A and B are shown apart, each in its own frame.
Chain A
Amino acid sequence: MQQNGFTDDHLDMLRELMNIAMGNATASIADLLEAFGKMHIPQILISDMEGLASYIQQTISIDQRNYVTKQLFGGMFSGEFLFVISEESALHLGHHLYDVDNPSDGDILDAVIELTNILSATMISRLTEELNTKVQFFVPSTELINGNALISQEDIMNYHRIIIISTQMEFEHQNINGHIFILTKDGMIESLKALIDRKLEELYA
Protein backbone atom coordinates (compact mmCIF):
# COMPACT_ATOMS: atom_id res chain seq x y z
CA MET A 1 0.00 0.00 0.00
CA GLN A 2 1.30 3.48 -0.81
CA GLN A 3 0.64 6.78 0.98
CA ASN A 4 1.79 9.71 -1.13
CA GLY A 5 4.67 7.72 -2.59
CA PHE A 6 5.61 6.20 0.76
CA THR A 7 5.55 2.42 0.69
CA ASP A 8 4.99 0.19 3.72
CA ASP A 9 8.79 -0.17 3.89
CA HIS A 10 9.25 3.63 4.09
CA LEU A 11 6.67 3.87 6.86
CA ASP A 12 8.10 0.88 8.73
CA MET A 13 11.62 2.31 8.51
CA LEU A 14 10.46 5.74 9.70
CA ARG A 15 8.55 4.15 12.59
CA GLU A 16 11.60 2.11 13.59
CA LEU A 17 13.94 5.12 13.43
CA MET A 18 11.45 7.14 15.44
CA ASN A 19 11.33 4.32 17.99
CA ILE A 20 15.12 4.49 18.37
CA ALA A 21 14.98 8.29 18.66
CA MET A 22 12.22 8.13 21.26
CA GLY A 23 14.17 5.53 23.23
CA ASN A 24 17.06 7.97 23.54
CA ALA A 25 14.77 10.84 24.48
CA THR A 26 12.89 8.78 27.09
CA ALA A 27 16.18 7.74 28.70
CA SER A 28 17.29 11.39 28.95
CA ILE A 29 13.98 12.47 30.50
CA ALA A 30 14.03 9.45 32.83
CA ASP A 31 17.42 10.65 34.12
CA LEU A 32 16.05 14.15 34.62
CA LEU A 33 12.94 12.93 36.47
CA GLU A 34 14.69 10.00 38.16
CA ALA A 35 11.77 7.92 36.95
CA PHE A 36 10.86 5.23 34.44
CA GLY A 37 9.06 6.14 31.24
CA LYS A 38 6.78 3.81 29.32
CA MET A 39 7.62 3.52 25.62
CA HIS A 40 4.80 3.69 23.07
CA ILE A 41 4.74 2.53 19.46
CA PRO A 42 5.16 5.61 17.24
CA GLN A 43 2.38 6.43 14.79
CA ILE A 44 3.08 7.68 11.27
CA LEU A 45 0.40 9.31 9.15
CA ILE A 46 0.64 11.12 5.85
CA SER A 47 -2.25 13.48 5.63
CA ASP A 48 -3.72 16.79 4.57
CA MET A 49 -4.63 19.57 7.01
CA GLU A 50 -8.08 18.18 7.76
CA GLY A 51 -6.44 14.90 8.69
CA LEU A 52 -4.06 16.69 11.04
CA ALA A 53 -6.88 18.55 12.78
CA SER A 54 -8.85 15.33 13.17
CA TYR A 55 -5.77 13.45 14.41
CA ILE A 56 -4.96 16.10 17.02
CA GLN A 57 -8.58 16.13 18.17
CA GLN A 58 -8.45 12.38 18.70
CA THR A 59 -5.06 12.44 20.41
CA ILE A 60 -5.10 15.30 22.90
CA SER A 61 -7.74 16.69 25.25
CA ILE A 62 -8.89 19.68 23.27
CA ASP A 63 -11.25 20.86 26.00
CA GLN A 64 -8.47 21.50 28.47
CA ARG A 65 -5.60 23.92 28.38
CA ASN A 66 -2.25 22.62 27.21
CA TYR A 67 1.26 23.94 27.18
CA VAL A 68 2.27 23.79 23.53
CA THR A 69 5.93 24.17 22.61
CA LYS A 70 6.88 24.54 18.99
CA GLN A 71 10.37 24.35 17.57
CA LEU A 72 11.34 24.59 13.95
CA PHE A 73 14.30 22.63 12.61
CA GLY A 74 15.92 22.90 9.20
CA GLY A 75 18.22 20.96 6.93
CA MET A 76 17.73 18.18 4.42
CA PHE A 77 15.02 17.01 6.80
CA SER A 78 13.17 20.00 8.18
CA GLY A 79 9.89 20.62 9.90
CA GLU A 80 8.34 21.47 13.20
CA PHE A 81 8.57 19.69 16.53
CA LEU A 82 5.48 20.07 18.71
CA PHE A 83 5.26 19.00 22.31
CA VAL A 84 1.83 19.17 23.94
CA ILE A 85 1.46 18.65 27.68
CA SER A 86 -1.74 19.28 29.61
CA GLU A 87 -1.81 21.97 32.29
CA GLU A 88 -2.31 19.25 34.92
CA SER A 89 0.66 17.18 33.71
CA ALA A 90 2.80 20.32 33.56
CA LEU A 91 1.87 21.07 37.19
CA HIS A 92 3.03 17.57 38.17
CA LEU A 93 6.22 18.13 36.19
CA GLY A 94 6.92 21.43 37.99
CA HIS A 95 6.10 19.82 41.33
CA HIS A 96 8.44 16.92 40.61
CA LEU A 97 11.33 18.94 39.21
CA TYR A 98 11.27 21.76 41.77
CA ASP A 99 10.23 19.53 44.67
CA VAL A 100 7.61 22.02 45.88
CA ASP A 101 3.86 21.53 46.45
CA ASN A 102 2.78 24.59 44.49
CA PRO A 103 5.23 25.54 41.76
CA SER A 104 4.74 29.04 40.36
CA ASP A 105 3.55 29.59 36.79
CA GLY A 106 7.11 30.62 35.93
CA ASP A 107 8.53 27.41 37.42
CA ILE A 108 6.05 25.32 35.44
CA LEU A 109 6.84 27.14 32.21
CA ASP A 110 10.59 26.70 32.80
CA ALA A 111 10.06 23.00 33.49
CA VAL A 112 8.05 22.54 30.27
CA ILE A 113 10.66 24.40 28.21
CA GLU A 114 13.49 22.37 29.73
CA LEU A 115 11.68 19.12 29.09
CA THR A 116 10.88 20.09 25.51
CA ASN A 117 14.46 21.15 24.81
CA ILE A 118 15.75 17.76 25.91
CA LEU A 119 13.02 15.92 24.01
CA SER A 120 13.42 17.78 20.74
CA ALA A 121 17.22 17.88 20.77
CA THR A 122 17.55 14.20 21.64
CA MET A 123 14.84 12.94 19.32
CA ILE A 124 15.53 15.00 16.25
CA SER A 125 19.31 14.66 16.59
CA ARG A 126 19.03 10.87 16.87
CA LEU A 127 16.50 10.64 14.06
CA THR A 128 18.68 12.71 11.71
CA GLU A 129 21.83 10.83 12.79
CA GLU A 130 20.13 7.60 11.74
CA LEU A 131 19.17 9.25 8.44
CA ASN A 132 22.80 10.35 7.94
CA THR A 133 21.99 14.04 7.84
CA LYS A 134 22.11 17.09 10.11
CA VAL A 135 19.64 19.75 11.14
CA GLN A 136 19.74 23.20 12.66
CA PHE A 137 17.38 24.05 15.52
CA PHE A 138 15.56 27.35 15.88
CA VAL A 139 14.45 29.02 19.10
CA PRO A 140 11.35 27.30 20.55
CA SER A 141 8.25 29.08 21.81
CA THR A 142 5.83 27.89 24.48
CA GLU A 143 2.30 29.02 25.25
CA LEU A 144 -0.62 27.87 27.32
CA ILE A 145 -3.62 27.43 25.06
CA ASN A 146 -6.60 25.13 24.71
CA GLY A 147 -6.59 22.28 22.22
CA ASN A 148 -8.96 23.99 19.82
CA ALA A 149 -6.59 26.93 19.54
CA LEU A 150 -3.75 24.59 18.65
CA ILE A 151 -5.67 23.20 15.71
CA SER A 152 -6.74 26.55 14.34
CA GLN A 153 -3.47 28.41 14.71
CA GLU A 154 -2.44 29.93 11.44
CA ASP A 155 1.13 28.66 11.42
CA ILE A 156 0.01 25.08 11.88
CA MET A 157 -2.77 25.49 9.36
CA ASN A 158 -0.18 26.57 6.79
CA TYR A 159 0.73 23.00 6.08
CA HIS A 160 -0.55 21.46 2.87
CA ARG A 161 0.56 17.85 2.71
CA ILE A 162 1.99 16.69 5.93
CA ILE A 163 3.70 13.78 7.66
CA ILE A 164 2.58 13.38 11.23
CA ILE A 165 4.98 11.39 13.34
CA SER A 166 3.54 11.12 16.79
CA THR A 167 4.27 9.37 20.01
CA GLN A 168 3.63 9.71 23.69
CA MET A 169 5.87 10.45 26.64
CA GLU A 170 4.43 8.74 29.70
CA PHE A 171 5.75 8.73 33.25
CA GLU A 172 2.81 6.97 34.85
CA HIS A 173 3.85 7.14 38.50
CA GLN A 174 4.57 10.86 38.26
CA ASN A 175 1.30 11.57 36.35
CA ILE A 176 3.31 13.23 33.63
CA ASN A 177 2.53 12.56 30.02
CA GLY A 178 2.67 14.50 26.83
CA HIS A 179 2.24 14.12 23.09
CA ILE A 180 4.94 14.69 20.53
CA PHE A 181 4.24 15.57 16.92
CA ILE A 182 6.84 16.03 14.23
CA LEU A 183 5.34 17.79 11.25
CA THR A 184 7.05 18.04 7.90
CA LYS A 185 5.51 19.16 4.67
CA ASP A 186 5.52 19.41 0.91
CA GLY A 187 9.06 19.39 -0.55
CA MET A 188 10.52 18.04 2.66
CA ILE A 189 8.44 14.91 2.32
CA GLU A 190 10.40 14.09 -0.84
CA SER A 191 13.71 14.78 0.96
CA LEU A 192 12.68 12.51 3.80
CA LYS A 193 11.69 9.80 1.34
CA ALA A 194 15.10 10.08 -0.37
CA LEU A 195 16.87 9.75 3.01
CA ILE A 196 14.82 6.68 3.87
CA ASP A 197 15.49 5.23 0.41
CA ARG A 198 19.21 5.39 1.19
CA LYS A 199 18.65 3.48 4.44
CA LEU A 200 16.56 0.90 2.61
CA GLU A 201 19.23 0.47 -0.06
CA GLU A 202 21.79 -0.24 2.69
CA LEU A 203 19.45 -2.81 4.20
CA TYR A 204 18.61 -4.61 0.99
CA ALA A 205 22.20 -4.46 -0.40
Chain B
Amino acid sequence: MKILVVDDSKLARLFLIKTLKELEPGAEILEAENGLIAVELFKTEKPSAVFLDLTMPVMDGYEALKEIIKIDPNAQVVIVSADIQAQAQSTVLESGAKMMIPKPINSEKMLSILQQLSI
Protein backbone atom coordinates (compact mmCIF):
# COMPACT_ATOMS: atom_id res chain seq x y z
CA MET B 1 0.00 0.00 0.00
CA LYS B 2 1.28 3.47 -0.94
CA ILE B 3 0.37 6.50 1.17
CA LEU B 4 1.20 10.08 0.14
CA VAL B 5 1.88 12.60 2.93
CA VAL B 6 1.75 16.26 1.88
CA ASP B 7 2.84 19.09 4.17
CA ASP B 8 5.27 22.01 3.81
CA SER B 9 6.60 21.27 7.31
CA LYS B 10 9.21 18.51 7.33
CA LEU B 11 8.43 17.80 10.98
CA ALA B 12 4.69 17.61 10.37
CA ARG B 13 5.39 15.06 7.64
CA LEU B 14 7.75 13.16 9.91
CA PHE B 15 5.15 13.07 12.69
CA LEU B 16 2.47 11.73 10.34
CA ILE B 17 4.84 9.18 8.83
CA LYS B 18 5.92 7.98 12.27
CA THR B 19 2.27 7.48 13.28
CA LEU B 20 1.44 5.77 9.99
CA LYS B 21 4.44 3.43 10.23
CA GLU B 22 3.36 2.32 13.73
CA LEU B 23 -0.05 1.31 12.41
CA GLU B 24 0.82 0.23 8.87
CA PRO B 25 4.45 -0.99 9.03
CA GLY B 26 4.32 -2.38 5.52
CA ALA B 27 3.08 0.79 3.87
CA GLU B 28 5.26 2.62 1.37
CA ILE B 29 5.18 6.29 2.32
CA LEU B 30 5.68 9.02 -0.27
CA GLU B 31 6.27 12.65 0.68
CA ALA B 32 5.53 16.01 -0.93
CA GLU B 33 6.22 19.50 0.41
CA ASN B 34 3.56 21.31 -1.60
CA GLY B 35 0.42 20.68 -3.60
CA LEU B 36 2.11 20.81 -6.99
CA ILE B 37 4.55 18.01 -6.16
CA ALA B 38 1.68 16.08 -4.57
CA VAL B 39 -0.42 16.21 -7.74
CA GLU B 40 2.54 15.02 -9.86
CA LEU B 41 3.24 12.16 -7.42
CA PHE B 42 -0.43 11.25 -7.35
CA LYS B 43 -0.44 10.94 -11.15
CA THR B 44 2.65 8.76 -11.32
CA GLU B 45 2.47 6.72 -8.10
CA LYS B 46 -1.31 6.32 -7.68
CA PRO B 47 -1.23 6.11 -3.86
CA SER B 48 -4.07 4.38 -1.97
CA ALA B 49 -4.50 7.38 0.33
CA VAL B 50 -3.35 10.99 0.58
CA PHE B 51 -2.89 12.97 3.80
CA LEU B 52 -3.02 16.60 2.68
CA ASP B 53 -2.29 19.85 4.51
CA LEU B 54 -4.15 23.01 3.41
CA THR B 55 -1.84 25.97 4.04
CA MET B 56 1.20 25.44 1.83
CA PRO B 57 3.31 27.49 -0.58
CA VAL B 58 3.36 27.00 -4.38
CA MET B 59 0.01 25.18 -4.48
CA ASP B 60 -2.22 24.99 -1.42
CA GLY B 61 -4.22 21.98 -0.31
CA TYR B 62 -7.55 23.28 -1.65
CA GLU B 63 -6.14 23.46 -5.18
CA ALA B 64 -4.25 20.18 -4.89
CA LEU B 65 -7.40 18.43 -3.68
CA LYS B 66 -9.35 19.65 -6.71
CA GLU B 67 -6.58 18.45 -9.05
CA ILE B 68 -6.35 15.05 -7.38
CA ILE B 69 -10.13 14.56 -7.52
CA LYS B 70 -10.05 15.50 -11.22
CA ILE B 71 -7.52 12.71 -11.77
CA ASP B 72 -9.42 10.20 -9.62
CA PRO B 73 -12.88 11.12 -8.30
CA ASN B 74 -12.63 8.24 -5.81
CA ALA B 75 -9.26 9.28 -4.39
CA GLN B 76 -9.00 8.69 -0.64
CA VAL B 77 -7.91 12.13 0.51
CA VAL B 78 -7.75 13.05 4.19
CA ILE B 79 -7.21 16.73 4.99
CA VAL B 80 -4.93 17.21 8.01
CA SER B 81 -4.94 20.91 8.84
CA ALA B 82 -4.61 23.50 11.57
CA ASP B 83 -7.52 25.34 9.97
CA ILE B 84 -10.49 24.18 12.02
CA GLN B 85 -13.08 26.59 10.62
CA ALA B 86 -16.40 24.99 9.73
CA GLN B 87 -16.28 26.58 6.28
CA ALA B 88 -12.87 25.08 5.56
CA GLN B 89 -14.27 21.67 6.44
CA SER B 90 -17.39 22.04 4.28
CA THR B 91 -15.29 23.33 1.36
CA VAL B 92 -12.92 20.37 1.34
CA LEU B 93 -15.68 17.82 1.86
CA GLU B 94 -17.62 19.35 -1.04
CA SER B 95 -14.42 19.18 -3.12
CA GLY B 96 -14.16 15.44 -2.54
CA ALA B 97 -12.05 14.92 0.59
CA LYS B 98 -13.14 11.89 2.60
CA MET B 99 -12.60 13.62 5.93
CA MET B 100 -10.85 16.51 7.64
CA ILE B 101 -8.80 16.04 10.79
CA PRO B 102 -7.42 18.89 12.94
CA LYS B 103 -3.70 18.98 13.68
CA PRO B 104 -1.96 17.62 15.64
CA ILE B 105 -2.85 14.03 14.86
CA ASN B 106 -2.19 11.13 17.22
CA SER B 107 -2.16 7.32 16.88
CA GLU B 108 -5.73 6.95 18.10
CA LYS B 109 -7.05 9.41 15.53
CA MET B 110 -4.92 7.85 12.81
CA LEU B 111 -6.21 4.37 13.59
CA SER B 112 -9.77 5.59 13.32
CA ILE B 113 -8.98 7.28 9.97
CA LEU B 114 -7.34 4.19 8.50
CA GLN B 115 -10.32 2.08 9.56
CA GLN B 116 -12.73 4.48 7.85
CA LEU B 117 -10.83 4.73 4.57
CA SER B 118 -11.50 2.29 1.74
CA ILE B 119 -7.89 1.16 1.37
> Contact residues of A with B, CB < 8 Å?
8-9, 12-13, 15-16, 19-24, 26-27, 30, 36-37, 39-41, 130, 200, 203
Contacts and interface: CB of A to CB of B under 8 A. Distances in A.
Contacts of A39: 54-55, 82-83
A121 to B, nearest CB: 16
Nearest to B15: A203
A30 B88 CA distance: 11
B57 interface: yes
A23 B101 CA distance: 12
Interface stretch (B6-14, B39-47, B69-77, B109-117): B6-14
Contacts of B84: 23-24, 27
B11 A26 contact: no
A12 B10 contact: yes
Given A13-B11, A19-B82, A39-B54, 5 more contacts: A23-B103, A27-B85, A30-B86, A39-B82, A41-B56
Contacts of A21: 82
Contact of B85 (A13, A37, A203): A37
SS class of chain A's interface: helix, strand, loop or mixed?
helix
Contacts of B8: 41
The 4 A-B residue pairs with the shortest CB-CB distance in the complex, in nearest-first order: A23-B82, A36-B87, A20-B82, A16-B9
Contacts of A22: 82
B83 A26 contact: yes
A39 to B, nearest CB: 5
11 contacts: A12-B11, A15-B9, A16-B9, A22-B82, A23-B103, A24-B84, A26-B83, A36-B87, A39-B54, A39-B82, A203-B14
A203 B83 contact: no
A36 B85 contact: yes
Interface in B1-29: 8-12, 14-15, 18
A67 B14 CA distance: 40
A23 B83 contact: yes
A9 B102 CA distance: 22
A36 B88 contact: yes
A96 B114 CA distance: 42
